[in-house]
Structure 1
C-alpha cells in the first residue's frame, strides 16, 4: 500500500469509496482505487485477475489487496481509469438509437459469457457500473468481484439500496427474504441472475426508467420484483420496437429457465430482431428532445423522457418474511450429479465483441 498516492476522492459507489490514485513508481498513469465497505469481499483468484487484464470490455485490474487498519481493515482494488462517460451521462449526451442499444446489449452479453465461462459473476450490473469508453464508444464494465457464492451475513451487513434492488433477480431477492437468521447460507449465482440484471438495464435504457419504482415501500418493491411482470416497454415508451421489448421481457422473466440461456443466444435473438424489422424503427432515437419556438433543439440538449410505469395502488399479496425451504434436489440429492455445463465462449479465448455489431456503437 505504500506506493499508492491518493489524488482525489471520486465519491461512493456500490458499497465502496472511489479514489483517483497514482503509483509513485509510475506517476504518469492515473488509476482508480475502490475501497470496499462490504466485509465479505477480498478473495480474488488468478482467473479473475486474468479476465480483468485481457477482456476489452472489462476495466483492467492493476492491483488488489487489503488496506490494513486496527480491527481488520478493508479490501481494495485498483483498476484503470476508463476515459469516457458513465452510461447515464452517455444516454444524456448521445440520445442513442435502438440499434445502438441492441449493439451495447450484445457487447455486454458476450462479456457475461466470457465471465461465466470462468466461474465469475458480476452481481452488481446496473447503469453506474458501466462506462462508455471515449476512444471507441465500447461499454466497459467496472468493479468486477470474484466468484459466484455470496454469504448471507455479508449481504445483510451491507443491505442493497432500492436503486440496486430493482436490478437484482427475483430469485436472488427471494433467497435473502427466505433465509433471514440463517447466517451460514450462501446464494449460488447463475448466468440467469446476470441476464435478468441485463434485462432490467435494457428496460432502463429503452424507457428511461427502471422496471419497478425504487420509491415503493420495501415490501411492495419485493412483491413487484418477485411476482409482477413489468409494464411492457412499448407501453411506457411507444418508440420501443416491439421485438426489442419482447426480448427485454424475456430477459426479465420470473422463471430463470424462460430467459435466454447465454449471452450468445441473446446476441442471436437481437440479430434476428434487427434483421427482420424495419430499419426505420431501429434507427429512431430513444427519446425526443426539447425544442425552441422555431423547432431547433435547445442547447444544452434536454431529453424528454416518458412518464414512468404506473405503480399499482393496491399493495398486492404480502410475502412471508421468513421461509425455510429445501428444494427437492436438497431433499433427495442425486447419487451422481452431472457437472455444470459452461457456456461456450464467444469470439476467441477472451470473448471479444461479436463481429456483426462492429461500428454500430
Structure 2
C-alpha cells in the first residue's frame, strides 16, 4: 500500500516506511510514536520522532539544548545507549536507524525488538504474583539497572510503563532510554519533568527550590534517583497503590513527596511480607544517603529476605485476589498454593473462628442467665421452705402481688444480636465508585496508563 502520509500522526496499519510494513499502532507519545512493523516475516518495533531532522539541526540556545526539547536528540541518545549495551539479555537489540521519508528532511526512527508482553502494572493484574515470583522478576530488573550503573549509565526514567515483561517466559525488558545519562554526554535535566510529578524523588524537589537550574546547574540524579524509582516499582508491586496520590493538587503532592513518609505496604496489604515492605520503605527514604548505597546492596537485601521467607507458606500466596476468570497455574504453583492454603488458614482464619465461638458462647451464657433469673424470681417459694408459722404465711397469690421486682417491666429480655463486619483492606485504587486511600492505580478493567505514561506498549 502506497504511503500518502506526510507526518507520523498519519501513519496507519498497511502503510510502509521503507522496507518496514506497519502492522499496528502501539502508542502515541509527546515526542514519538511507536508502531509494530513487519519485514521478511519477522516482527519489530519502530519508534519514530515527531520532529523532522531539518528542525533538529536549527541553531538552538544552550538552555534549549540542556532541556532536551529535540526529539531527534532523544532518539539518537536512545539508539546510542542500546547500540552500546544491547548485548544484555534484558535490553532491546537495535536493527536500524533511519529517516522517513528521506534522509535530508525526514523524521528519525529506530527499529528494535518487538516484545509481546505487559508493562509492570498489566503483568501484575493479568495474574497476581506471589511474593516469590514478584521478587524474582524485580531482582532481574535490579540486576539490569546494576549492569548499567557499573558502566556509568543511569536510566532516569524507571517506571511501570518502561518495563515490559514478556508473556512467553516472564523475562523483563527495560525500555525507553530517551532520558538516559551516558558517560561524557551533555544530556542534562533542568527543572521538573512533565506529567510524572508523583514519581519524582525528593532531592529533585529540593534542587528546584534552590533555583540552581536557572543558573545552568543540572540535576545529576544518578544512583540514588534510580534506586528511588525502583522503590516505587516495589511499593506498587506489594500494595497495588502509588506511594503518593497523583490526584492531589500539585502543591499538596509535592509537599507530601518532600515531607510525608508513605504508608508501609504491609499495612495496606496484609499479604505483603514485612521484609519486602521494609526494603521498599528504605528505597523511598527522603534523603538519598538513607537509601541503599547501590543496586548491589539492594540485591543483597532481596536475597536475605528470600532466604528468611522462602520456607513460609505465605511466600507462595498471591499478593492480591485474582479478578475475572482465574489464570492457569503450573502444577508446581498449584502444589505450592495448595500447601499454603492448608497452613496459612490456620494462621489467618483460626483467630476469626475462635472469636466467633467465644461470641456465641457469651451470647448463650447471657441468655441462659436471664432465663434462670426470670424463672427463679417469678416462681413462688414452696410452703415447706418457709420457716414461719403457718398463720404468719400469706397466700401464694398475695405473695405474688406484693413481692417486689416481679413486674415483667423489670426484665429486658432481648435476643442477643451478634454482628460481624467483614473488613477488607483498601484494594486498588483509582477505581470509579470505590473509595480508597487515594493512592490508586488505574482501573484494572480499563487498564489505563498511569499519568506520565507516553506509550501504552511501553515503547
TM-score, structure 2 length as denominator?
0.57
Q: Tell me: higher relative CO, structure 1 or 2? Use CA pairs within 8 A at least 6 residues apart.
A: 1
SS in structure 1 opposite 2:317? coil
Counterparts of 1:251 and 1:32, CA distance in 2: 33
Counterpart in the other structure of 2:149: 116
Q: Which runs of 5+ in 2 are unaligned?
A: 1-16, 51-68, 328-424, 430-435, 440-459
Would the alpha carbon gap of residues 257 and 15 (structure 1) be closer, same or farther in structure 2, given more than 3 Å must change? farther
Counterpart in the other structure of 1:20: 36
Would the alpha carbon gap of residues 151 and 139 (structure 1) be closer, same or farther in structure 2, given more than 3 Å must change? same
SS in structure 2 opposite 1:21? strand
Tell me by how many angstroms 1:114 deviates.
0.8
Would the alpha carbon gap of residues 80 and 238 (structure 1) be closer, same or farther in structure 2, given more than 3 Å must change? same
- C-alpha deviations, 1:251-293, integer Å up to 9, x for none? 1111112212222221111111121135223212111235xxx
Counterpart in the other structure of 2:239: 207
Residue 194 of structure 2 corresponds to residue 160 of structure 1: yes
Residue 427 of structure 2 corresponds to residue 306 of structure 1: yes
Counterpart in the other structure of 1:274: 306
Counterparts of 2:233 and 2:106, CA distance in 1: 33
CA RMSD after TM alignment: 3.1
Counterpart in the other structure of 1:44: 77
SS in structure 1 opposite 2:77? coil
Counterparts of 2:107 and 2:258, CA distance in 1: 33
Counterparts of 1:279 and 1:183, CA distance in 2: 54
Counterparts of 1:101 and 1:119, CA distance in 2: 27
Residue 42 of structure 2 corresponds to residue 8 of structure 1: no
Counterpart in the other structure of 2:171: 138
SS in structure 2 opposite 1:35? strand
Alignment of 1:255-334 (within 5 A): 255-277=287-309, 278-289=311-322, 298-299=324-325, 306=427, 308=429, 310=437
Tell me by how many angstroms 1:84 deviates.
2.3
Residues 234 and 280 of structure 2 are in contact (CA less than 8 Å); yes or no, is this contact kept in structure 1?
Answer: yes
Counterpart in the other structure of 1:94: 127
TM-score, structure 1 length as denominator?
0.72
Residues 195 and 251 of structure 1 are in contact (CA less than 8 Å); yes or no, is this contact kept in structure 2?
Answer: yes
Residues 151 and 186 of structure 1 are in contact (CA less than 8 Å); yes or no, is this contact kept in structure 2?
Answer: yes
Q: Which runs of 5+ in 1 are unaligned?
A: 291-297, 313-361
Residues 152 and 184 of structure 1 are in contact (CA less than 8 Å); yes or no, is this contact kept in structure 2?
Answer: no
Q: Which has the larger share of strand?
A: 1
Residues 47 and 118 of structure 1 are in contact (CA less than 8 Å); yes or no, is this contact kept in structure 2?
Answer: no
SS in structure 2 opposite 1:120? coil
SS in structure 2 opposite 1:100? helix
Residues 20 and 31 of structure 1 are in contact (CA less than 8 Å); yes or no, is this contact kept in structure 2?
Answer: yes
Counterparts of 1:7 and 1:200, CA distance in 2: 34
Would the alpha carbon gap of residues 46 and 130 (structure 1) be closer, same or farther in structure 2, given more than 3 Å must change? closer
Counterpart in the other structure of 2:111: 78
Report which of the two structures shows the higher radius of gyration computed on alpha carbons: 2
